[in-house]
Structure 1
């Protein structure tokens, strides 16, 4: 499939926070894809186990709407579509 932009995110949390992390990232990803008009797939697995928690590794595959830079083959070389997908996978930090 041409025009697909992959990205990954690796993060860790305490055991009691892992389910919320997993569901929260999936929900935020789905909401952002809908808002931006991007087709996307998200996958996750636990990559490392610790006494206090685990490391969760997310993989994203993104494809923009038909006719967008992200949807056309070679979009990465032209630099089209990348700002949109970068915002989706790298949101600004939230105040706590």
Structure 2
């Protein structure tokens, strides 16, 4: 299983270990992934995801999964997140048509 965020597709970065003698060797900076269950208010459904801790903080700041997805551009989202966003938009359009 690759170490990538299920919402924003954040992956590992690379850099250097630098010793006291300034010797440099390559290393990987892994993403801090968390297994979480996020609830969609409009869909009334829960989604199990493996997302980065910094993405989880942003989801909380934006007011939940629906607010995060609606405020994020599609080219930043993964395919799984785009499907959820599409369902949320469809549900909102149905609610507007009924009202």
State the TM bucket, normalised to the shorter chain: under 0.3
* TM-score for the superposition, normalised by structure 2: 0.26
The structure that is strand-richer by fraction is 1
Highest relative contact order (Cα 8 Å, sep 6+), 1 or 2?
Answer: 1
